[in-house]
Amino acid sequence: MPHDRRALRQDKADFAQVRHEQRKRDRKDMKARRLIFTLLLASSVAVVQLAAQQTKADQKPIEEVKAKAEAGDAESQVELGRRYDKGEGVMKDHAEAAKWYLKAAEQNYAEAQYSLGACYLNGEGVAKDPVEAVKWYRKAAEQNFAAAQFNLGLCYENGKGVAANRVEAAKWYRKAAEQNDAAAQYNLGMCYEEADAGTEDWAEVYKWLSLAARQGHEGAKKFMTVLESWKVS
């Protein structure tokens, strides 16, 4: 038995060293991935969540969309903004897209607020302004718009437009993660993994990364492979 205990202690020491090295590598990868998320997800217009809606909306003649948008219909204003963003049925024009997003955003339309935030974060159609981006992300996030909650979490984590605050970042990731947003689930899991040594909550790490991995999130699948190997060893 003493020998077994010594062996167990050595295994734990080996495990800790492996985990330390893995964490260093994954943190570097994670920073790069999250920067990509910031650029790509912030510039998208909730593509996954709204795919079905877009398919239906894209079938509408552009004249009909314009007429409804000019009459003040917020949904049509967002759709028209998206058409200008993508150049569908009209010449691509980011400034015109931002104009229509603003009209709908001022009607408290969450999707428009999220899209306008993306415009400000990336400087598309408006002057780049991370503070203004956070303002509009927050408005949409407070209406429980998952993509905005995730991007607001990114802003807090990376200090874009707001003072960096990991607690706030985790709070907004959680809100989006609870709506089954895979990227938010991954980031939330990594927040738990990156806690100070000795305070990590591995049950929460496993919970959120496994949920993200089941949705096909590549970063989560990679890290889950490591976690599973630790469990076996």
Q: Look at the block and give the residue holding tokens 């003649």.
A: 61
What lies within 8 Å, CB to CB, of 73 at 6+ separation is none
Residue 128 phi, psi (nearest 5) = -60, 125
Reading the block at residue 147, the tokens are: 């993509």
- CATH number assigned to the domain covering 31-179: 1.25.40.10
d(C-alpha 142, C-alpha 110), whole Å: 9
d(C-alpha 113, C-alpha 139), whole Å: 7
All CATH 1.25.40.10 domain ranges of the chain, comma separated, are 31-179
d(C-alpha 62, C-alpha 83), whole Å: 8
Write out the chain's pLDDT in tens, 233 residues.
434 434 434 444 444 454 555 555 555 555 555 555 444 454 443 443 444 455 554 568 999 999 999 999 999 999 999 999 999 999 999 999 999 999 999 999 999 999 999 999 999 999 999 999 999 999 999 999 999 999 999 999 999 999 999 999 999 999 999 999 999 999 999 998 887 666 678 888 889 999 999 999 988 888 888 777 766 45
Total-model pTM: 0.75
